[in-house]
């Protein structure tokens, strides 16, 4: 947020929500260019900032990564569907959205998973070092998340129960296989 303060100061009538959306889209486009792909993400502006907790979605509405699931779902795939089908997302949408894990890292202080100190991929940053990534090049946006989850080649990479479910569940697996095989299919 500190990096966006000069933008907010220059454009005080634009909401933080719209500035964050624009910054996110540009960040993903830059990460895609590292994979050799030009990516344009269409944006719709006009979001209004929350003024207090009453304007925010209650905690617990995002998916959990491992059992026991807060919705008491027996399997990770059931939990993902319970969370995302209520938002109108299909199984294909859920798999594609999960591919965003190709970027970034998990930190135990926020998610409860893996290493705060870091791995061979994250111990030197950039930014604050540490955490555990899903992919070796966690600042590059491509289909590597799917191929790494499928192959499970490197114990230093993160594979959550909800990640593994993408290849184990018959409704998710065709899309996960398709995206693992083709960066173009994932981007489309």
pLDDT at position 56: 76
pLDDT at position 142: 94
Question: What percentage of residues in the chain have a pLDDT greater than 70?
Answer: 98
Q: Which residue has the higher pLDDT, 108 or 121?
A: 121
| Mean pLDDT across 37-62 | 83
Q: What is the mean pLDDT of the chain?
A: 90
User: Model-level pTM?
Assistant: 0.81
pLDDT at position 60: 62
Write the secondary structure of the chain as one string of H (helix), E (strand) and C (coil).
CHHHHHHHHHCCCCCHHHHHHHHHHHHHHHHHHCCCCCCCCCCCCCCCCCCCHHHCCCCCCCCCCCCCCCCCCCCHHHHHHHHHHCCCCCHHHHHHHHHHHHCCEECHHHHCCCCCCCCCCCCCCCCCCCCEECCCCCCCCCCHHHHHHHHCCCCCCCCCHHHHHHHHCCCCHHHHHHHHHCHHHHHC
């Amino acid at each position: 947020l500190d990096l966006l303060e000069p933008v907010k100061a220059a454009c005080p009538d634009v909401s933080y929500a719209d500035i964050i959306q624009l910054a996110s889209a540009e960040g993903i486009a830059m990460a895609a260019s590292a994979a050799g792909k030009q990516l344009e993400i269409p944006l719709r502006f006009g979001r209004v900032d929350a003024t207090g907790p009453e304007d925010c979605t209650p905690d617990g509405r995002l998916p959990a990564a491992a059992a026991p699931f807060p919705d008491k779902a027996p399997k990770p795939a059931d939990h993902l569907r319970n969370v995302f089908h209520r938002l109108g997302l299909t199984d294909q949408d859920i798999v594609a959205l999960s591919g965003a894990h190709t970027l970034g890292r998990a930190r135990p202080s926020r998610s409860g998973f893996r290493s705060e100190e870091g791995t061979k991929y994250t111990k030197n940053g950039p930014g604050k070092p540490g955490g555990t990534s899903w992919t070796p090049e966690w600042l590059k946006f491509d289909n590597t998340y799917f191929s790494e989850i499928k192959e499970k080649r490197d114990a230093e990479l993160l594979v959550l129960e909800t990640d593994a479910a993408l290849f184990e569940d018959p409704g998710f697996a065709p899309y996960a296989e398709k995206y693992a095989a083709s960066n173009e299919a994932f981007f489309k």
